Amino acid sequence: MTTPFIGTWRIDVEGSKVWDYANQVWLPEAAGEEIIRIGGDDQVQDYEVLYGDRPVVRMGYTSRFDDPTWVPYSIRGVEGVPEEEINDALLEFQERVRSMVAFKVGGIYGLVRSVFVDERTHYRISRSAETGEAEYSMLRRMEPDGQAYLASVHRVDGVVSRVRRFVRVES
């Protein structure tokens, strides 16, 4: 049996929000476009995201569900800006999306593990590649019709920092 998450997904910006810690309010998602491709089966998740629209940051990982091995969630590349502007573009993007982790091409955004709860429920757990300390957990929950899912990111202090809705893209 394969998981219903396999496929291509596009962010529903209207159904997504980011917590502003300083002002204690929800703000609209500011990354712009986001396309996620999930492959694999109920044993392995092959995950790649095209994150943002100025620039587009290509990130991804492959993990075996419920395996205790931490795998790198790598920044594979940047599209949409000249090579000499990549570092400045990544810094601006990091600030705009309120990421606490720096973006660097070829770098590791974090170490992750994937947990398979049931066909409609997965978790991604992350820790720092540098310190080994916990960073966040993300609950990914498929809607009953299989055409959309919510991903909610929880900081280590329990605060939900992002709620993002993704809709299936038909191929």
Let me know if residue 1 belongs to a domain. Answer: no
Pairwise CA distance, residues 1 & 43, whole Å: 10
51 has pLDDT over 80: yes
Let me know if residue 33 belongs to a domain. Answer: yes
168 has pLDDT over 70: yes
The predicted-structure confidence for 114-166, as pLDDT tens digits, reads as follows 999 999 999 999 999 999 999 999 999 999 999 999 999 999 999 999 999 99
Give the per-residue pLDDT at 171.
Answer: 64
Over residues 66-89, the mean pLDDT reads 92
Pairwise CA distance, residues 115 & 63, whole Å: 10
36 bridge partner residues: 9, 49
The predicted-structure confidence for 8-37, as pLDDT tens digits, reads as follows 999 999 999 999 888 999 999 888 899 999
Q: Which domain holds residue 153?
A: 7-169
Binning pLDDT at 50, 70 and 90, where does residue 60 land?
very high
Let me know if residue 64 belongs to a domain. Answer: yes
Domain count, the chain: 1
Let me know if residue 26 belongs to a domain. Answer: yes
| Domain at 48, CATH number | 2.40.128.20
Pairwise CA distance, residues 119 & 101, whole Å: 30
Let me know if residue 2 belongs to a domain. Answer: no
Binning pLDDT at 50, 70 and 90, where does residue 2 land?
low
Binning pLDDT at 50, 70 and 90, where does residue 99 land?
confident
